[in-house]
Amino acid sequence: MWGLGQYSTPLQPYYHFVNGTQQSGLFLGQNNVTTWGVKLYPVDGDNTWDNEPYWQLRLLGPDSALPWNGSALYPDEYRTFLQVYGS
C-alpha cells in the first residue's frame, strides 16, 4: 500500500538503533523513523487486489497512535523493520 497518491513520500535509508545500539545494515524509513506496521489481507471477497492476497505496510511515525486505543498497531498488524538486502 506504500506509494498511493498524496500520502506517498520518498523513502530513505537509515541506521536503526535499539536501546542506543546501532544495528548492522541500512533500513528503509522516513524522517528518521524505521518502524513499520505490516498486515496480511487474505483473499476473502472484501480485501482483495486482483483476487490475490496482499500485504499492507504503514510507516509508524509519531502520529501513528490510533484514537480509540492509543496503540500504533491495528488489529492483526505486526511491527517490523525493512532492512536493505546486502547492506
What are the grid coordinates assigned to 55, written together?
A: 500485504
DSSP state of 7: G
Reported as a single tens digit per residue, the pLDDT across 13-64 is: 999 888 999 999 999 998 888 989 999 888 776 655 567 788 888 888 887 8
The predicted pLDDT at position 38 comes to 93
What are the grid coordinates assigned to 59, written together?
A: 510507516
pTM of the model: 0.75
Alpha carbons 26 and 12: distance in angstroms, whole number: 9
Reported as a single tens digit per residue, the pLDDT across 44-56 is: 766 555 677 888 8
CB of 64 closer than 8 Å to CB of 2 = no
Cα dihedral 70, 37, 32, 7 in deg (nearest 10): -90
